[in-house]
Amino acid sequence: MSANATTVISSHSHPPSFAAPQSGGGDFREGIRLLARLARVAEQTCQSTGISLPQYRLLVSAAEGPQRASELAAAVGVSRPTLTSLVDGLEQAGLVRRVPVASDRRGIQLELTQAGREATFRAENALSNRLLNLINGETQSVVPLVHGVVTGIGAALDREGREAR
Using one digit for the tens of pLDDT, what is the confidence trace for 68-125? 788 888 888 899 999 999 999 999 999 999 888 788 777 778 889 999 999 999 999 9
Average pLDDT value over all residues in the chain: 81
CB neighbour list of residue 131: distance below 8 Å, 6 or more residues apart: 41
Q: For residue 59, which phi and psi values (nearest 5 degrees)?
A: -60, -45
User: Is 102 exposed, middle or buried, given 0-12, 13-18 or 19+ CB atoms closer than 10 A?
Assistant: exposed
Please calculate the CA angle 45-49-54 and round it to the nearest 5 degrees. Answer: 65
Confidence check: pLDDT of 3 > 60: no
If residue 71 lies in a helix (H) or strand (E), which one and from where to where?
helix 69-76
Per-residue pLDDT at 124: 97
Confidence check: pLDDT of 137 > 70: no
Per-residue pLDDT at 25: 62
pLDDT band at 16 (very low <50, low <70, confident <90, very high): very low
42, 127 Cβ separation under 8 angstroms? yes
Confidence check: pLDDT of 14 > 60: no
Ordered domains of the chain (ranges, CATH): 51-126 (1.10.10.10)
pLDDT band at 139 (very low <50, low <70, confident <90, very high): low
> What long-range pairs does 30-39 form, CB within 8 A, spacing at least 24?
none
Q: For residue 99, which phi and psi values (nearest 5 degrees)?
A: -125, 130
Please calculate the CA angle 132-159-162 and round it to the nearest 5 degrees. Answer: 125
